[in-house]
Structures are given as structure tokens and as C-alpha cells.
Amino acid sequence: MARSFNIAVFHGDGIGPEIMAPTCALLAQLAEASDSYDLRFQDAPAGAAHYAKTGDSLPEGSMNTARAADAILLSAMGLPSVRYPDGTEISPQIELRKALTLFAGVRPVTVRTDRHTPLKLPAGREIDFVLVRESTEGLFYTQGRGEVTQDEARETLLITREISEQLFRFAFDLARSRKAAGRGPGKVTCVDKANVFRAFAFFREIFDAEAARNPDLLADHAYVDATALWMVERPWDFDVMVTENMFGDILSDLGAGLMGGLGLAPSADIGANHAVFQPCHGSAPDIAGTGVANPFAMILSAAMMLDWLGLRHENAAMQRDGARLRAAVEDIIAQGTDVTPDLGGRARTDDAAQAVRDRLFAP
């Protein structure tokens, strides 16, 4: 019998609803065609427009919907014109990350053709690695609470054993599932600055202990500065990369740059019991309402959701559909015809989504 999964949907602001609608439609069609799973979508109102209307950017009802769901889909939230009274931007996604302890930020970097990447890919090479960024502590620990006097400023770098162990376990499990899917050699690279900071030597020690528990996988280390260089010089050598919060923040933008832009970069924020899947880009208010937003980062994030749910619930059909959805988008990107203006094409959001549908369901 088909198992049913509840998906909380944050439609968000700006282009958010424009890329979420076709994504949910594709997911619904995949589930419809499958005997093995059903998806039930539950709207979770939140974000800047909702705040402007109600004074609440993340209503308790939406938080409860998210907490109770099997997975959470989120498009972009926030608008430059709407702010909290203290002047900061509306970002319920950060509250969600904290409230649900989503400690692992997952950013796949995939480049299969020369078309959009600023790099020159040597013949026969593809880039396909995943960056796992710790998302609750590290150099962001004192975010907004640093001590600043007239003469000096201090922030704290916090690395805990508990979160690091969970983070590394997640990274090794991910490398194992990628290896099983034929996407990598099963290697995890710990990115740190252990030569300078004791906190990172501690991070590395915890990594080494986890590596010893996973003798079927490869493990190595790299300093963050060298990693930035290698991501440009030989990015095809990476499989799973795991790092601290701030380093991950910076390297993931470098990763999006390698892919050729924000419109192609998906992400997931994953904890022990919850996960949020969302594109790396923001709400793009400059193009909202014009119908040309690129839906691919959102659709690729939905594919990651199918991967994660499928793995977690041992649902092979879901994992297969995640891979099919990703392959359809990669094929369109490689062909370069049904792509939106940000990728140099003339397709509208709905045309790009239709191209995915054609590839998935062509007779």
C-alpha cells in the first residue's frame, strides 16, 4: 500500500509562490503515477508579505504544520521593503532552522556541461560534490550578540561534540548513499583550519573518530584556504565536504558560482527529525510578477526532498523519482533551449516546468 507523506509548503515572498506552484504540481504528478507513495501538501503561511498583513512572520499554526510534517518545502522569504521594527530583514527560515535544530546545511554542486559554469571543464570531467555546512553554531554562534566596546569587538567560535558528531555521522551516511547510487567514491573531506585554531583541531579529532567508525568509506582533511583554491582548480576531486558554519557559508556561494548562478543551486537544511528543502536564492523582487523566474533551483530542492524521504523511509520509488526529476532538469540545462532568461534563454517559468514534465511523462 502507498504510504502517505505530509509536506508543509511555505510559498514565501516575491518569486516564491511562482516557483513553488509548478514544483508542487510536478511532485503531485510523480506521486500520482506511483503506487508506492502519496504526497499531501499543507500550506504554511509565513514571510514578509504575511508579516505586513498580520504583524506575524511565522504564525504558530505554520510552525506546528512544519513540526508535524514529514518534510518541509520552502521557497524564498523576505522582501527589502518589509522589515522588523529593529530594521532587520524578515527571515522565518532562520527561525525554523533554530527551532527544528537543522544542523546540516546541504548544498550540492553539480556541473555536467560547460554551458553555464565560468570554469573550463576538461573533456570527460563533471563536477558533482556536496557541501555539508554546520548550521547552528561555529562562528555564527554569537550572531547578533557579539560584544562591542569603543575599542574592541569579540565574537565566540563554538564547536560542540554533540553537534559535530551528528554532523559527521550525517556526512558519512550521505557519502555512503552517494557511493551506492554511483555518484562518488564514498569520500568525506573535513574542511577546517586545524593548524591555527584549537577549536578546529577539536573538530578534526571528532571527525577522525567518526571516520574510524566508517571503514568502508574514505576520509581526508583540507584547510579551508586550500579548499577554496581546489574548488576552482580541481573541483571534480571532491565528493562530500563537511565544514563549520562560516566556512560553509562562504564556500557554498563559491559552489553556486561554479554552477553558473543562483537559479540552479538547490539546498536542504537537515536535522535529526526534520528537514527543510529550499533554493539558495532569495525572493528576487526585481523580477517578481514578470513570469520569468527560473524554477530549477526549487525543483532540484524538491528532488533532494524525495531523495531524503526515500532514504529515510526505505522507499525506493521515491528515491528513483528524485533521481528522475534531477536528470530531467540536468538534461534541459545541457540542451539549453527551454531555459529562463537568467540562463540566457527565452522560456518563461511555466515553459521551463513544462519541459520537465515532458521529459518525465513523455509517452
Residues binding ligand ATP (CB under 6 A)? 15, 76, 78, 262-263, 281-284, 286-287, 293-294, 297, 342
Binding to Mg ion, residues 263-322 (CB under 5 A): 282
How many residues interact with Mg ion (rule CB under 5 A)?
A: 1
CA 176 to chain centre: 19
**Which of Mg ion, ligand ATP, none does residue 281 bind (CB under 5 to 8 Å by kind)?**
ligand ATP
Q: How far is the CB of 264 from ligand ATP (least distance, A)?
A: 9
User: Any idea of the CA torsion for 49, 304, 264, 14, to the nearest 10 degrees?
Assistant: -10
**Which of ligand ATP, Mg ion, none does residue 342 bind (CB under 5 to 8 Å by kind)?**
ligand ATP
The smaller minimum CB distance to ligand ATP, of residues 88 and 195, is found at: 88
- Please report, for residues 65, 136, 346, the alpha-carbon distance to residue 95 in angstroms, rounded to integers and kept in the order given: 14, 11, 37
Nearest residue to the partner ligand ATP, using Cβ: 282
The smaller minimum CB distance to ligand ATP, of residues 57 and 164, is found at: 57
Q: How far is the CB of 44 from Mg ion (least distance, A)?
A: 22
Length reported for the chain: 363
Binding to Mg ion, residues 95-134 (CB under 5 A): none
C-alpha cell at 201: 583541531
**Which of ligand ATP, Mg ion, none does residue 293 bind (CB under 5 to 8 Å by kind)?**
ligand ATP
**Which of Mg ion, ligand ATP, none does residue 164 bind (CB under 5 to 8 Å by kind)?**
none
The smaller minimum CB distance to Mg ion, of residues 16 and 282, is found at: 282
The smaller minimum CB distance to ligand ATP, of residues 175 and 356, is found at: 356
Amino acid at 338: D
- Please report, for residues 1, 109, 235, 238, 294, the alpha-carbon distance to residue 258 in angstroms, rounded to integers and kept in the order given: 42, 8, 9, 13, 17
Q: Where are the beta strands (DSSP E) in 246-294?
A: 266-270, 275-279
Q: How far is the CB of 338 from Mg ion (least distance, A)?
A: 26
Sequence-distant (6+) residues with CB within 8 A of 300 are 108, 264, 266, 279, 325, 326, 329
The smaller minimum CB distance to Mg ion, of residues 160 and 278, is found at: 278
| DSSP secondary structure letters along 330-359 | HHHHHH-SS--GGGT----HHHHHHHHHHH
The smaller minimum CB distance to ligand ATP, of residues 140 and 200, is found at: 140
C-alpha cell at 14: 516575491
Nearest residue to the partner Mg ion, using Cβ: 282
C-alpha cell at 130: 556536496
318 within 8 A of 71, measured Cβ to Cβ? no
- How many C-beta neighbours within 10 Å does residue 152 have? 7
The smaller minimum CB distance to ligand ATP, of residues 62 and 283, is found at: 283
Q: How far is the CB of 301 from Mg ion (least distance, A)?
A: 16
Q: How far is the CB of 82 from ligand ATP (least distance, A)?
A: 12
**Which of ligand ATP, Mg ion, none does residue 283 bind (CB under 5 to 8 Å by kind)?**
ligand ATP
The binding site for Mg ion (CB under 5 A) comprises 282
